[in-house]
Amino acid sequence: KRKQPDEAVYYIKLTLQQNSQVVSDNFYVMGKEEDNLQALSKLPKATVAISGKRFVQQGEEWIGEVEIRNTGHVPALLIRLNLKGGDGEQILPVIYSDNYFSLMPNECKKIKVSYRNEDGRGQAPYVEVTGFKVNKKAHQNSDALFCLLEESLLLEGIEESDAHGFA
């Protein structure tokens, strides 16, 4: 018989590696009571730090990188990146090396973001980061944020996204 966890909500993270490289990772949120994730609404907000490298043009493509680190003490759930232009409209199509992911405390993930020049509409790109009960942490070095703005990679966070299905 399987032992029941002590917590109302618990997490399972599986990582498959080959030669020290992550090939696949999966993250699961489970409830002590099957199909009951109501306890998620009572979790404290997670805090993530965001940094990035400026977008650089390589031929007809623009490529950037965003690093997201969970600096809090609880998992950061359902993190989503959304590339937008200076006009506030999404830039589409976009290729993300990963998206819609969760981070355990102190876990960090680097995401590559790319799009074709013609799809950018001549707009300066920025990456909007949202998540379920996620706070954006200000950059520790304000000069770093200024440099990112100068290099046309803006990073924004929304304090709390819609918690679809987790009322």
Spatial CA neighbour of 30 closest among 11, 5, 14: 11
| Token pair in block for residue 63 | 């490529």
Alpha-carbon gap, residue 47 to 106, rounded angstroms:
10
CB-CB contact of 7 with 37 (8 Å)? no
Q: What's the average model confidence in pLDDT over 42-63?
A: 90
pLDDT digits (tens, 9 = 90+) for 11-51: 999 999 999 988 999 999 988 888 888 888 888 899 999 88
pLDDT digits (tens, 9 = 90+) for 91-139: 999 999 999 999 999 999 999 999 999 999 999 898 888 899 988 664 4
